[in-house]
């Protein structure tokens, strides 16, 4: 694990670097695929940047509201670059809301927009896995399997590498299928379904799962619900639209 | 899924979701094996490795004796600019919350510092929290400190809640984490 990349006097946090790099690469890939699929790449760029900025700003504002006393004592901290002063759930909610408003204002087709965003999300999933490898988070449960890695004082499933492998496979599927003539929305639904399915399977090998209801892993329950929604979404799309034929690229 | 007829697709989805439920049930964690905090390791969710060190004013301090309190273990050195920058904030937070159950251990990584400059820095800045001296570097290694400053937030059960690598930490971050930890005190 490599939480900090030390280059001379400069200490770079690997997880944050991974997120940043994945966002940039994902956006570049997404724009290329968007051109092939006839989606305006500028709209994808604006959408992603709006999502990023809205998410960060509201994640900080929510955190400030949660700990107002702390910021009254140290108002300058409101502008701190420290990622620990962010509330991620609210950030994500507002990022989605901001993107929805932009989609509506720009009169973009929602399902085609979701398809255009899929490559960005698929590369971000790789970024998350790399961040986990760097920080050691998302570590595996103890095992005696020969490919176990010694981490945090025990031999464990290399769960971060399982996660990375799944993300790479899902990205390959995304890139391959993005060129096909799937009906609008199918690419996004398949991506969500595959990601939820992979997480549902791989969460079982993690050693840091949150537990509910006498031992059930929260991550698995949520993944199952998301997988169900994705399968329902695929059925819904199938009934209401048709495949468009192969996209030339 | 063109090779599957609509009825078969629905059957496949149902089978997939049923298998998912079976997998969730099979991989459920028995209550007795929940590992949170059982193993001692310098990682969030684990028991903070115990150590005993002498402080700068000659007292002996043992981490496990501080169970029941919210503890911040901050690794620092006097030559490290972000460590120096965040120390006044740590002192202000300590003064504000020490009577509510907060303990700050500012472990000087003396193995890569000088005792004299560390002492001068502590007195110049009027730091009142305990400053254990890690002369041998054993505790710095035990906590796998790769970058200074590194700060561990440890709860009343001795479990590491969060690690902040690098600095200087924003004062609001310190206050919010301390208030959260103090709310959890028995």
B34 close contact with A: CB closer than 8 A: yes
Q: What is the pLDDT of residues A3-38, one digit of tens each?
A: 777 776 666 778 888 999 999 999 999 999 988 888
What mean pLDDT do residues A104-119 have?
Answer: 91
Write the DSSP assignment of A30-53 as a string of letters.
HHHHHHHHT--HHHHHHHHHHHHH
Q: What integer pLDDT is reported at residue A69 of this predicted model?
A: 84
Among A187, A152, A51, CA closest to B35: A152
**pLDDT exceeds cutoff 50 at A115:** yes
Q: Is the dihedral of CA A137, A141, A147, A148 positive or negative?
A: positive
Q: Which residues of A touch B92 (CB under 8 A)?
A: 73
Strands B70-76 and B102-108: parallel
Indicate whether B92 and B1 sit together in one domain: no
| Residue A247 pLDDT level (bands cut at 50, 70, 90) | very low
Indicate whether B76 and B115 sit together in one domain: yes
Chain A, nearest residue to B48 by Cα: A152
CA–CA separation, B184 vs B186, rounded Å? 6
Q: What integer pLDDT is reported at residue A95 of this predicted model?
A: 95
Residue A93 has, within 13 A of its CA and on its CB side, a CA count of: 10
Chain B, nearest residue to A80 by Cα: B170
> Between A212 and A236, where is the model more confident?
A236
Q: What is the pLDDT of residues B4-19, one digit of tens each?
A: 566 788 888 999 999 9
Question: In sequence order, what E strands does chain A have?
Answer: 4-7, 10-13, 149-151, 154-156, 211-212, 216-217
B41 within a domain of the structure (yes/no): no
> Hey, is A213 helix, strand or coil?
coil
Q: Which residues of B touch A209 (CB under 8 A)?
A: 29
Residue B178 domain boundaries:
52-183
A80–B170 CB contact, under 8 Å: yes
**pLDDT exceeds cutoff 70 at A61:** yes
Give pTM, 2 decimals.
Answer: 0.78
Indicate whether B12 and B89 sit together in one domain: no
> Between B3 and B159, where is the model more confident?
B159
B43 close contact with A: CB closer than 8 A: yes
Q: How many domains does chain B have?
A: 2
B44 within a domain of the structure (yes/no): no
Indicate whether B28 and B68 sit together in one domain: no
Q: Which residues of A touch B23 (CB under 8 A)?
A: 200-201, 204, 220
A208–B45 CB contact, under 8 Å: yes
Q: By mean pLDDT, which of A225-234, B21-30, B39-48, B61-70 is the weakest? A: B39-48
B167 within a domain of the structure (yes/no): yes
A211 close contact with B: CB closer than 8 A: yes
Q: What is the pLDDT of residues B17-57, one digit of tens each?
A: 999 999 999 988 765 555 444 556 788 888 899 999 999 98
B78 within a domain of the structure (yes/no): yes
Name residues 14-53 of chain A within 8 A of B (Cβ): none
């Amino acid at each position: 694990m490599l939480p900090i990349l030390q280059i001379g006097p400069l200490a770079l946090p690997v997880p944050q670097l991974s997120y940043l790099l994945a966002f940039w690469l994902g956006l570049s890939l997404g724009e290329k695929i968007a051109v092939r699929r006839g989606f305006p790449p500028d709209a994808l760029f604006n959408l992603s940047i709006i999502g990023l900025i809205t998410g960060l700003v509201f994640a900080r504002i929510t955190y400030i509201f949660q700990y107002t006393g702390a910021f009254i004592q140290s108002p300058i901290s409101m502008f701190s670059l420290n990622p620990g002063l962010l509330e991620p759930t609210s950030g994500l909610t507002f990022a989605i809301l901001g993107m929805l408003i932009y989609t509506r204002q720009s009169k973009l087709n929602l399902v085609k927009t979701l398809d255009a965003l899929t490559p960005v999300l698929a590369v971000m999933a790789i970024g998350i896995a790399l961040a986990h490898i760097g920080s050691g988070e998302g570590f595996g449960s103890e095992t005696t399997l020969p490919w176990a890695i010694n981490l945090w004082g025990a031999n464990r499933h290399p769960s971060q590498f399982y996660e990375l492998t799944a993300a790479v496979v899902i990205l390959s599927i995304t890139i391959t299928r993005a060129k096909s003539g799937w009906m609008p929305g199918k690419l996004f639904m398949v991506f969500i379904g595959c990601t939820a399915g992979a997480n549902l399977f791989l969460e079982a090998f993690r050693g840091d799962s949150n537990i509910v209801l006498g031992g059930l892993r929260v991550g698995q329950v949520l993944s199952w619900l998301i997988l169900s929604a994705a399968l329902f979404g695929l059925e819904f799309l199938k009934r209401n639209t048709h495949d468009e034929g192969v996209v030339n690229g | 899924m063109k090779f599957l007829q609509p009825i078969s697709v629905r059957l496949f989805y149902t089978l997939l979701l049923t298998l998912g439920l079976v997998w969730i049930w099979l991989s459920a964690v028995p209550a007795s094996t929940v590992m949170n905090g059982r193993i001692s390791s310098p990682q969030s969710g684990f028991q903070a490795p115990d150590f005993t060190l002498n402080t700068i004013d000659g007292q002996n301090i043992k981490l496990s004796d501080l169970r029941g309190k919210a503890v911040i273990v901050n690794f620092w050195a006097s030559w490290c600019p972000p460590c120096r920058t965040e120390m006044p904030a740590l002192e202000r937070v300590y003064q504000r919350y020490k009577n509510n159950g907060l303990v700050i251990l500012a472990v000087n990584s003396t193995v890569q510092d000088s005792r004299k400059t560390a002492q001068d820095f502590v007195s110049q800045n009027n730091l009142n929290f305990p400053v254990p001296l890690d002369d041998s570097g054993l505790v710095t290694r035990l906590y796998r400190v790769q970058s200074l400053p590194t700060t561990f937030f440890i709860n009343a059960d001795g479990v590491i809640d969060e690690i902040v690598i690098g600095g200087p930490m924003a004062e609001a971050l310190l206050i919010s984490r301390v208030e959260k930890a103090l709310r959890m005190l028995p």
